[in-house]
Amino acid sequence: MGSSVPETGASRVQAVSAPAAPIGDTEPAKDTEPPTRDVRLFWCANAADSLGSQASGVVLPLLLLGLGYSPTVVGLVAGVSTATGLMLGPLVAVPADRGARKRVMFWSAVVAALAMGSVAVALAVAEGRPSLVHLLAAVLVERTATACYEAAARGTVALISTPGNLPRVVAGLEAGDRGALVAGPALGGMLYQVSRALPFVLDAVSYAVTAVCVRAMRSHLRADRTGSADAVDMTNRADAANRADAADRADGASESAGSAAQDGSLPRPVSRPVPRSARGTWSALAAEASAGVRLVRTTPLLRLVLVWTTTVNGVLAALYYDAVFTLQESGHGGTPMGLVLALSGAAGLAGSLAAPRLVRGLSPVRAVVTVSWLMIPLAAALATAGGPWAYGALFGALCLIMPLATVILQARAIQGTPPELQARAGSVLATAAGGAAAVAPALAGFLTAHAGTAVPALVSAGVLVLLALHTTLRAGRTLASGLPPKGTPAEDVRARGRDV
């Protein structure tokens, strides 16, 4: 299930195994490589997934309300499904980083297709009234599978693209998301008018297409771990159990050697299983899942990406719901919000398509800083917007300029993250951005109820001022480097796995 709220695409931040080229105020090297077969398949998988999720996500609340359930139940379903995705992401990222990325992506898409297919079948055979238990179970299974897919997919760009082609590949993913934002809700609404089951049939088919595309990719989607062990095989791997096992093996070797000295036979190796308590297993898993947190915390580049994408995602969600509240208060129905989404989605699509060319011709530092400052007057102007066309134009302007900064930041994050921490670092960034987008609507509603409909936009503009100041001070230093240099804390995170 996808959200129709405009987003920065932060959940697609991924890692790369190649070092980044320095970026400063010089023009980046131009890339003329055509997209590879795997890149095109990944674009197709992403676009299909986004289209189906947008189509079914926009009609699921309508379905629940039409079946007689209260808005509270609708909100509960949406909240539980979102929370499930946020919690599972960091855990699923561990097996993905350990080489199971492609398997997790494929089977997650298959499970999601079956879950949405079951909803379509229930709507068709149960006289259009499936039970709430079935709907809730299907949505949770689909959301869990989607969270697993998204967590595993982080890092895929790094494994199928050259460093010089990263902006183009990231922009293609952005374009697919924006195109789905334009076409998905409208297509879902039209299919819902024909039959309640059709949007969920489309979603199931889209997941099936995603699974086929992932399966057809030639790459195994495994990070090259040559010369680098996983950063989570750290100090807790050299615990008392390991030392005890080493002592046992030494004793066994001594006994075997003694026997061999007596009867002249060769000593037989002694193999004993290493006991591991449940507490030790959970501690190791927690250490593995938290490796991405440590990397983001100790890497200035990733901290900048975290702050920027989290703040912008939260601001966009707050502004969107402020528009919903304002238009509803002025007597407009659901059609005007569809217009706002369509205009913002079309503008975002145009910005995503133009981003690769602009990235090649602009200084990345200046581009990100300029976009950060340009968002402020657009957000402040939303406080005075009075109709759907004004909201659509302002949201469209925001979504038109954002992809340039998003593509640059994602490309730098891709180039600046160690390959063995791809999914885990991406999950940290995605969880933070998703959490901000989940909390912002409640804050917008509180401000609207207690201070008026113009206040959320003004507060959002103030938050963007702080973000622009932070970006101006930090971008020049953090965007000018790729992988963390030797001796930095982030490099130590990578090296600790080689020291054990």
Give residue 163's region: left, alpha or beta (phi > 0; psi -120 to 50). alpha
Q: Does the global pTM surpass 0.85?
A: no
Q: Is 283 exposed, middle or buried (0-12, 13-18, 19+ CB in 10 A)?
A: middle
pLDDT at 12 over 70: no
Taking residues 115-131, what's their average pLDDT?
84
Higher-confidence residue of 135 and 315: namely 315
Least reliable range by pLDDT among 36-45, 320-329, 352-361: 320-329
Q: Look at residue 441 in the predicted model and tell me its pLDDT.
A: 81
For residues 306 and 57, which has the higher predicted lDDT (pLDDT)? Answer: 306
Rounded distance, CA 15 to CA 415, Å? 6
Higher pLDDT, 79 or 323: 323
pLDDT in tens, 379-427: 999 998 878 888 889 999 999 999 899 988 988 887 778 777 767 788 8
The pLDDT tens digits for 436-483 are 887 888 888 888 888 888 899 999 999 999 999 999 998 888 876 544
Helix%, strand%, coil% for the chain, nearest 5: 80, 0, 20
Say if CB 152 and CB 215 are below 8 A apart: no
Q: Is the pLDDT of residue 197 over 50?
A: yes
pLDDT tier at 129, thresholds 50, 70, 90: confident
Q: Which residues contact 361 (CB under 8 A, 6 or more apart)?
A: 27
Mean pLDDT, residues 40-58 taken together: 89
Q: Are 415 and 365 in contact (CB under 8 A)?
A: no
| In the chain, % of residues over pLDDT 90 | 20
pLDDT band, very low/low/confident/very high, at 332 (cuts 50, 70, 90): low
CA within 13 Å, CB half, 413: 37
Average pLDDT, integer, range 274-294? 64
pLDDT of residue 472: 94
- 126, pLDDT greater than 80: no
> How many whole angstroms separate alpha carbon 173 and alpha carbon 293?
25
The confidence score (pLDDT) of residue 234 equals 35
